[in-house]
Amino acid sequence: MTLLNRAASLTLMIALIAGLSLMVSCSSSPTEDDMKRLNDLKEEYAALQKESSALSQEKAMLEKEVADKNAKLAKCNADQEVVRQRLGK
């Protein structure tokens, strides 16, 4: 019986909290402060998107440089092996 009372009171508390939060958080229109914060967040988002794009481009450029240097290194190693073979070592 106590388990049923606990479940009922828990359910009632959850319903009460949910109802109160809906009543408190609902408004018919945003305030000037809300609109300013929204616009500030939009500007910050745009700036972060731009920065992210720039960093992605920089990453791609650095990866290309690494690939080019790895290709040069592989060619040097191949040339070095050819020289070793010709010297008979």
With pLDDT > 90 as the criterion, what percentage of the chain qualifies? 61
Q: How far apart are CA 80 and CA 33, in angstroms?
A: 69
Q: Which domain, by its residues, includes 15?
A: 2-87
State whether residue 7 is helix, strand or coil: helix
Q: What is the pLDDT of residue 88?
A: 84
Q: What is the pLDDT of residue 25?
A: 57
Q: What is the mean pLDDT of residues 69-81?
A: 96
Residue 33 parent element (H or E): helix 32-87
Q: What is the pLDDT of residue 23?
A: 60
pLDDT at residue 53 tops 60: yes
Q: What is the pLDDT of residue 70?
A: 97
Residue type (1 letter), 74: A
Mean pLDDT value across the chain: 85
Total domain count for the chain? Answer: 1
Q: How far apart are CA 62 and CA 81, in angstroms?
A: 28
